[in-house]
Structure 1
């Protein structure tokens, strides 16, 4: 004969299913913009939008992995109220691993006004002096807004009559 246990057996837990998109009760709808993805429910976001002048022309280098890294630098003017006496602008390094951005930046020159959107990233690498790191903007989208001027700065480079391509 078997002896019955007086301890209760655990109940089976069935997880509740979240309503699918479009169903009543779906309160987690978010504004959808091109290039924007919700990361999680904690509200964390890493979005950067910059508009400034190119101060270091884009350079492409091949990493040991075979991936191409495009790097350039922008100078973004601070609002007048936030300017310091010796630092009216912020130099910001931008990078991209995307071939489409490598193509888009190919004709950029110093002085061009560009717009970049992406995210802040911290990259690490080993150097002869130990580990190093840098914080950069990893660009997801980039385009030139206005071509920079000639040496006088009066005429955009694309319309200058004696402009020689580099």
Structure 2
């Protein structure tokens, strides 16, 4: 069996960083990914929820912002939950194993020097990854 997803797109908003009760970092963001319709060649956009864990989550929250171009490699996860009216819902999201920053932050934008973050020591063409053993579930 295989569950592998590779996406390239732009962030629709700033990553949202939180911590689990045990202190594990988790960041969430939405990726806008274009796709073409074969028959009419028009583009449509899919908005895909991404979940990132541990140090990679902190790096994404510190160095990525709305509009930044990234490549995400991970696995598709479908989870169920009950909404506020008690109706059972499903949510699809990609759990990122690797996030690659494909562009540099614009001057004065999120993650840019002078915007409260420094990119020193971060290679924008390199992978930020973690081991499957790092996932706390």
The TM-score normalised by the length of structure 2 is 0.66
Q: From the superposition, tell whether residues 159 and 60 of structure 1 become closer, same or farther in structure 2 (CA, over 3 Å).
A: closer
Between the aligned partners of 1:128 and 1:79, the Cα distance in structure 2 is: 36
Name the residue aligned to 1:70.
Answer: 27
Q: 2:46 aligns with which of 83, 90, 95?
A: 90
Q: 1:113 aligns with which of 69, 84, 88?
A: 69
Aligned residues: 111
Unaligned residue ranges in structure 1 (runs of 5+): 1-43, 149-156
Q: From the superposition, tell whether residues 61 and 84 of structure 1 become closer, same or farther in structure 2 (CA, over 3 Å).
A: farther
Q: CA deviation at 1:107?
A: 1.1
Between the aligned partners of 2:103 and 2:45, the Cα distance in structure 1 is: 19
Alignment check: 8 A CA contact 1:104 1:143 kept = no
User: SS of the counterpart of 1:78?
Assistant: strand
Question: Larger Rg: 1 or 2?
Answer: 1
Per-residue Cα deviation, 1:11-66 (whole angstroms, up to 9, x for no partner): xxxxxxxxxxxxxxxxxxxxxxxxxxxxxxxxx21000001111121111234565
Higher strand share: 2
Between the aligned partners of 1:158 and 1:121, the Cα distance in structure 2 is: 35
